[in-house]
Amino acid sequence: MTLLCKLDEIIEAGTKEYRITVSGIEQDIFIVYHNHKFYGYKNICPHHELSLNWMPDMFLDYERSLIQCSNHDAKFRIEDGECIAGPCIGERLTPVAISIIDDKIMLAGD
């Protein structure tokens, strides 16, 4: 397991991005803290395989209730990564397995 951050480093309705290496390949991922739960996803939109964020650590819409793609305004549910608005409705973000251990967010299974 790889340490990503401490729990208190991400605020409620906040996000944080990371560059990780899995099997020798660098990948960009992000963590969302929403309704007292943490979710992890690869930072790749399923529509055109571009990064989602429009600024560092900025992945949510204005209301901070959905993940929003900065390239074509697709919106994804935080809880399961399903696209509910935009050109890729029904597609999903790729989840990243994380674990909470001793007040730390860990990348699971690496």
For 56-95, the pLDDT digits (tens) are 999 999 999 999 999 989 999 999 999 999 999 999 999 9
Cβ atoms of 86 and 66 within 8 Å: the answer is no
Domain boundaries in the chain?
2-107
Residue type, 53: N
pLDDT tens per residue, range 9-33: 999 999 999 999 888 889 999 999 9
Taking the alpha carbons at both ends of the chain, their separation in whole angstroms is 6
CATH of segment(s) 2-107? 2.102.10.10
Task: Write down the pTM of the prediction.
Answer: 0.93
pLDDT for the residue 77 = 98
